Amino acid sequence: MNRIRTALTPLALAAGVLVALAAPATGGSQPSRHVTVRLVTHDSFAISKKVLRDFSRRTGIDVEVLPAGDAGAALNQVILTKDHPIGDVLFGVDNTFLTRALAEDIFLPVKPANVRGLAHVPADLRLDPSGRAYPIDHGAVCINDDKRYFARHHLESPRTLRDLARPKYRDLLVVENPATSSPGLAFLLATIDRFGEDGWRDYWARLRDNGVEVVNGWEEAYNGSFSAGEGNGDRPLVVSYASSPPAAVYFADPQPKTSPIGTVLDTCFDQIEFAGVLKGTEHVKEATALVEFMLSKEFQADVPLQMFVFPARADVGLPAVFTKFADVPAHPASMTPASIGRNRERWIDEWTDTVLR
Amino acid sequence: MNLARRPSWGRAVMLTVPLAFLGVFFVYPVLTILGRGLWPGGALDVSPLTEAVGDPGVRAIAWFTVWQALLSTLLTLVVGLPAAYALTRFRLRGASVIRALVVVPFVLPTVVVASAFLALGVGPSLGAMLLAHVFFNYAVVVRTVGGMWAHLDPRDEEAARMLGASRLRAFTSVTLPALRPAIAAAAAIVFLFTFTSFGVVLVLGGPTRSTLETEIYRQTAQLLDLRTAAALSIIQLVAVLALLVVTERLQGRRHVALRLRPARESARAPRTIGERAFIGVNLAIAVVLLGTPIAVLVARAFDTASGVGLDNFRALGTIHASSILFVPPDEAIWNSLSYAAVAAVLALTVGGLAAFAIVRTRRAGALDAALTLPLGVSAVTIGFGFLIALDEPPLDLRTEWMLVPIAQALVAIPFVVRITTPVLRSIDPRLREAAALLGASPRRVWREVDLPIVARALAVAGGFAFAIALGEFGATIFLARPDRPTLPVVIFRLLGQPGATSFGAAMAASTILLVLAAVSVLLVDRARVADVGTF
């Protein structure tokens, strides 16, 4: 008897679980005038529950968020399923992937007149004149420095990309591999923009000789090697974001009066994230409404503290932790998506040959 | 007593269910994604394959993939086999707890473990990679081989000694042959895990090392070069098939019927100083190897700005609380447990039926190999395969929650098969004959003889399947799933943000995950012990 009970317990548990998991789905299929729009995005997407709830209440559109891996994986999933789309809207294509998204023709053109917030977005973020991909947020990838380290060692923080190759900053920098990491790629693009097609490999050869450390991902760089990260590493310079200094304050308890890290403003590359309505959606009107909503003041104002990036709209105020602790580069490096799309693989291969072999 | 006398629908179910599951959720998706790469526009184009095979870069990657996996497997066996012996053949206080605790590494997300390794000063290197592979797979050897070892009748070896065999001779000619299927099974699984290892290679191998798995990921998820990805996947498949053929030979050649004994009877108290020293050394290795990284992790979970405290656990309930990505910790725990329960039941059903079919059908070894195949195929290939293959009714499962436990079950099934098959094979046919002779119907023979023995193996397998699913391996991270975040998902999200609170909360979540794993395995083991009387 005992034996049978032991054998049945997991079955009963699983049956209960099946019922519990299935329950919300049944609830959703009940007749309702609400339409559900599926938002495919990367795993770092975040927004306030309240903001989305307000949108649903106002419009009758429910939003189901489908995180689908990192930005590259999410985009590629959408491309591979374009005949039977897995969602209605895609958010999270950045300027390094934009050309692929446009070439694969996954987005439905939407009249810019229908996306009213766009008028408030600076021109240099509006990279798709065809009205398919709409800029939602941007954030600069920059070198962050551990202020305490430089104070303790009576060393001036580097100011420029060139400084990083100088002997006094030997063995101080950790970067991410552009082949596996999106900030890694953005930083590589910053150096290519600065030193040009003829000079960037020499620059990286100098960085290599100056002891640059390369790791595969942002987590290992920031929480492993970076001396102001959580791993108590030995590198006071790291490729991260202009929003890392406010994040380091915001996500600390108690919050410090000044940020322990700073931003080297000359080293930045602006990453811009886009959203668009997916071709093949059955809910064009509702999907368009969601994209438009992403450029509304309410959504835009919520972006900084949720995703730690900057809103695309220039007329939206920033939270205090950003205005106080974030240094924003006036002229971050930039590059046309077409140029990135054309060269990215070759650049990554050449970088690998220069730095890792 | 063989299957011929059992009702034929029984055999049909035993074979059909596993084959159908494998066909729909593995073969079909993988062929579809390979087809995208090699049959573009409807015509076979093998040029990517010939290009890849001829490319010295690819050859180097393939070779590195194979030898690091072989070396990792060998190291894991060297460390794990003595431990399996020490933990099952001697009556030790707390041995059952240790046997449960060794499973913990198995469920931890690689990022978390890697960060613990980095904190211990074990930076990216070949050594770090191999060490991490031993860390993760130690449990596979200890539990798969130990599970078999615990039930070997010590009198067989004693008889050999009595007849004048040296201790070594008695071991190599009596015990080792009996263990060979279990060792082969464990080795094959460790090889496949390390062959397709992803996070460990990426984080602890460092940027200069890549394997077929990391390269397939890059080609598929980053570059969208499905031609190259398909070619690499085929190279991966061929290597895995070759390995499975070899282990199948090792495993299935001899079906030794053994007189299995309850673990309680086969274990004895250590007698000599040598035995105590042997046990001590093995425990020390387990503590240092498994304990240190875990201790670092747990210490970080309780480390706060104001000393030791529960702040990080509290933060887990408040950080990002306003965000749609936020789930209260209890909900994440429930999500993890429920996915894992569904996955474990799926794996036990499919794997259990397959194990019976394998034992009772002459040429069913191929089924065993086929069910193991998913371990050797890239997670990204399976995940993206799901996406493009299961896209039409009645199988439009792409954004269904069910896909997550299905993907988890694919990884868990080989464990169920490989833990139960050796035990099933070793059931003495005379037991069944005796039962039949005493008038038991075939159904009754199965229920009274096979089931009690196999129930125990299924319990071990179920515990493993559950633990695997808790750690949410493989393909699930490439699925666009409705947001019902499990603990590993919560951990990934927290680690993706800077700040002491995010990091501390991630460590707290990892601590909860490892406690869940340890408790669930302990419970399963407990159920098993209570069962032994029926042996």
Which two three-digit tokens encode residue B104?
Answer: 């913990």
Residue B477's pLDDT band, with cuts at 50, 70 and 90, is low
SS3 annotation, chain A: CHHHHHHHHHHHHHHHHHHHHHHHHHHHCCCCCCEEEEEEECCCCCCEHHHHHHHHHHHCEEEEEEECCCHHHHHHHHHHCCCCCCCCEEEEEECCCHHHHHHCCCECCCCHHHCHHHHHCCHHHCCCCCCCCEEEEEEEEEEEEEHHHHHHCCCCCCCCHHHHCCHHHCCCEEEECCCCCHHHHHHHHHHHHHHHHHHHHHHHHHHHHCCCEEECCHHHHHHHHECCCCCCCCECEEEEECCHHHHHHHCCCCCCCCCCEEEEEEEEEEEEEEEEEECCCCCHHHHHHHHHHHCCHHHHHHHHHHHCCEECCCCCCCCHHHHHHCCCCCCCECCCHHHHHHHHHHHHHHHHHHHCC
Q: CA–CA separation, A213 vs A215, rounded Å?
A: 7
Nearest CA to A49 out of B15, B328, B372 is that of B328
Q: CA–CA separation, A159 vs B348, rounded Å?
A: 60
Chain B hits for A52, CB-CB cut-off 8 Å, are 324
Nearest CA in chain A to B454: A7
| Residues in chain A with pLDDT values less than 70 | 1-33
Is B115 within 8 Å of chain A by CB? Answer: yes
| Min Cα–Cα distance to chain B from A338, Å | 15
* Cβ neighbours of residue A177 closer than 8 Å, sequence gap 6 or more: A184, A214, A215, A216, A217, A356, B207
Q: CA–CA separation, A246 vs A243, rounded Å?
A: 6
* Residue A6 confidence (pLDDT): 43
Q: Which helix (DSSP H) or strand (DSSP E) does residue B222 occupy?
A: none
Is A222 within 8 Å of chain B by CB? Answer: yes
* Residue A1 confidence (pLDDT): 38
Q: Is B284 helix (H, G, I), strand (E, B) or coil?
A: helix
* Cβ neighbours of residue A354 closer than 8 Å, sequence gap 6 or more: A201, A204, A205, A208
Q: CA–CA separation, B106 vs B473, rounded Å?
A: 10
Instruction: Kindly list the distances between the CA atom of residue A29 and the CA atoms of A34, A36, B349, in Å, as whole numbers in the listed order.
Output: 10, 11, 30
Per-residue pLDDT tens digits for B70-98:
999 999 999 999 999 898 888 888 887 88
Which two three-digit tokens encode residue B122?
Answer: 């074990």
Q: Which helix (DSSP H) or strand (DSSP E) does residue B439 occupy?
A: none
* Residue B254 confidence (pLDDT): 52
* Residue B369 confidence (pLDDT): 84
Is A45 within 8 Å of chain B by CB? Answer: yes
Amino acid found at B486: T
Mean per-residue pLDDT, B38-53: 87
Nearest CA in chain B to A18: B342
CA B25 from centre of chain: 18
Residue B532's pLDDT band, with cuts at 50, 70 and 90, is very low
> Which candidate from A20, A47, A252 shows the least CB-CB separation from B501?
A252
Q: CA–CA separation, B38 vs B54, rounded Å?
A: 17
Residue B66: what are its φ and ψ, rounded to 5°?
Answer: -70, -50
Q: What is the mean pLDDT of chain B?
A: 85
Per-residue pLDDT tens digits for B254-305:
555 666 676 667 778 888 898 899 999 999 999 999 999 999 999 999 988 7
Q: CA–CA separation, A80 vs B130, rounded Å?
A: 35
> What spatial distance separates the first Cα and last Cα of chain B, rounded to whole Å?
20
Instruction: Kindly list the distances between the CA atom of residue A342 and the CA atoms of A12, A198, A272, in Å, as whole numbers in the listed order.
Output: 56, 17, 18
Q: CA–CA separation, B477 vs B409, rounded Å?
A: 14
Nearest CA in chain B to A233: B119
pTM across the whole model: 0.87
Is A259 within 8 Å of chain B by CB? Answer: no
Q: Are B534 and A224 within 8 A, CB to CB?
A: no
> Which candidate from B398, B530, B534 shows the least CB-CB separation from A86?
B398
* Residue B445 confidence (pLDDT): 84
Q: CA–CA separation, B366 vs A312, rounded Å?
A: 57
Top-confidence range, A249-258, B228-237, B384-393: B228-237
Is B124 within 8 Å of chain A by CB? Answer: yes
* Residue A3 confidence (pLDDT): 42
Q: Are B338 and A20 within 8 A, CB to CB?
A: yes
> What spatial distance separates the first Cα and last Cα of chain A, rounded to whole Å?
66
Q: Residues of chain B with pLDDT > 90: what percent? A: 31
Q: Which residues 46-75 of A are in CB contact (within 8 Å) with B?
A: 46-50, 52, 64-70, 72-74
Which residue of B210, B322, B454 to mutate against A (max A Cβ within 10 Å)?
B322
CA B133, B138, B143, B149 torsion: positive or negative?
A: positive
Among A187-191, B189-193, B470-474, whose mean pLDDT is lowest?
B470-474
- ipTM value for the complex: 0.84
**Torsion, Cα of B59, B64, B66, B67 (10° steps):** 130
Which two three-digit tokens encode residue A226?
Answer: 């970076």
Greatest CA separation for chain A = 79
Nearest CA to A269 out of A204, A187, A180 is that of A187
Q: Are A43 and B492 within 8 A, CB to CB?
A: yes
How many CA atoms lie less than 13 Å away from A63 in the CB half-sphere?
Answer: 31
Which two three-digit tokens encode residue A332?
Answer: 């971050």
Whether the per-residue pLDDT at B171 is higher than 50: the answer is yes
Residue B527's pLDDT band, with cuts at 50, 70 and 90, is low
Chain A hits for B388, CB-CB cut-off 8 Å, are 80-81
| Peptide bond preceding B394 in cis form (omega within 30 of 0) | yes
